[in-house]
Structure 1
Amino acid sequence: MEIQKLHNVVFKKFLKNQNLDIFLKDVDIFLDKYLDKIFYMPSILKLQKAIFNNHKIAIFSSSVMFLVEPIAKMLKVDEYRATKYLFDKENRFDKIDVIMDGKQKAKEAKALIKKLKITKENVSVYSDSFEDIDLFEVAKEKVAVQPNRRLKQKAERYSWEII
């Protein structure tokens, strides 16, 4: 299922009119329980090396902001973009504002690259999904992380690093 459709289905079925606080109270519990299973060590090691070398790091995730933000802070990453929702005056999920799909990730990355005044030659992209193909195009270095089948084929064809 493509990411746009998945977000729309999940939003309508599970989130619409629910209070955000119901989810926020369990975010820390969820992260404590599952984060070590979510992280892929080879990519975490590359992230730590980049931080050590004072590289600017940004996370562009199709996951929801209320999960991405605490993860980014835990990883000491200041720049992050994620799927955003709008809320009503009672703090209930009202509608989807932005779905951070591959095209939106590329758009956000280009804006950040422009803001930072860097060039494509100084940009690396790490992803596990072929849906991020537009995002890969903004970078010189392309790394497929535990890639899905389509991305693995593309990575092999163009000699991208695969971890």
Structure 2
Amino acid sequence: MRVLAFDLDGTLLTKNSSFAFCHYLCQQKHLSYFHLIYSALWYSYYRHWSHSYYHLHKRIFDRLLRGQNLSFLKTEAKRFVEKHLKKMLYPPALRYLEEQRKGQGRAVILSCSPAFLVEPIANFLGVDETVSSIYTTDNDGCLLDIAKVIDGKAKADYMHRYAYDETVAFSDSFDDLPFLEKASRAIVVRPDRKLRRFARKNKWEML
């Protein structure tokens, strides 16, 4: 069986879904624009100075998500997807999803973004399987802490279950190199500078 494994942000989507969702919540007046600026500054810091997805996730979780009701976030995420997702899609990567829809394989989305956001995006795209960052909740269903963050290594570890299948991995980020190298075939999508250089050296396909 052929397995198509996709990163989400910058790969299937042209934007970062978490940042776009934060912007949406600001527009709906559920968050202040201070939160949007805070997220942008920490994301910029991560891109230039840090390589820890967990560190980035923890900072933003503590400021924006801790104490938020999970059911509320799921409802708003579904509305966000219905209203905004189409204009965020990247057609060259989406064409590969047609193979899954035609019964020529299965697809999975592996993303650092929160499960409450990744799952409705996957449903919209017709992808049944997702691996994404998850949180613990208290007795009232409010977010309490981070349970798991999905980074490049976690994506690579997940690919072990498909060790005997033909796997095709898609990503835009050099941080996902362990994931890309685990696949039978790697395709880089709108790659960052380091990944572009590595892909050219190894003659990987680029979209």
Report the TM-score, using the length of structure 2 for normalisation: 0.71
1:155 is matched with which residue: 199, 203, 206? Answer: 199
**Residues 30-39 or 134-143, more deviating:** 30-39
1:138 is matched with which residue: 182, 192, 195? Answer: 182
Moved over 4 A (4+): none
- 1:9 CA drift (Å): 0.8
Contact 2:159 2:183 survives alignment (8 Å): no
- 1:43 CA drift (Å): 0.4
Unaligned 5+ residue runs, structure 2? 1-45
Instruction: Give the AA of the match of 2:72.
Output: I
Q: Distance in 2 between matches of 1:159 and 1:128?
A: 15
Name the structure 1 match of 2:101: 51
Name the structure 1 match of 2:61: 11
Name the structure 2 match of 1:88: 138
Q: Distance in 2 between matches of 1:40 and 1:55?
A: 20
- 1:53 CA drift (Å): 4.4
Contact 2:108 2:127 survives alignment (8 Å): yes
**2:171 paired with 1:127:** yes
Q: Relative contact order (alpha carbons < 8 A, sep ≥ 6): 1 or 2 greater? A: 2
Report the TM-score, using the length of structure 1 for normalisation: 0.90
Q: Distance in 2 between matches of 1:18 and 1:78?
A: 26
Q: Matched residue of 1:30: which SS? A: helix
Name the structure 1 match of 2:159: 109
| Identical-residue share of aligned pairs (%) | 32
Q: Distance in 2 between matches of 1:71 and 1:134?
A: 24
TM-superposition CA deviations, 1:56-109 (whole Å, max 9, x none): 211111111011111112222122100011111111111101100001111112
Name the structure 1 match of 2:84: 34
Q: Distance in 1 between matches of 2:154 and 2:82?
A: 29
Say how many residue pairs are matched.
Answer: 157
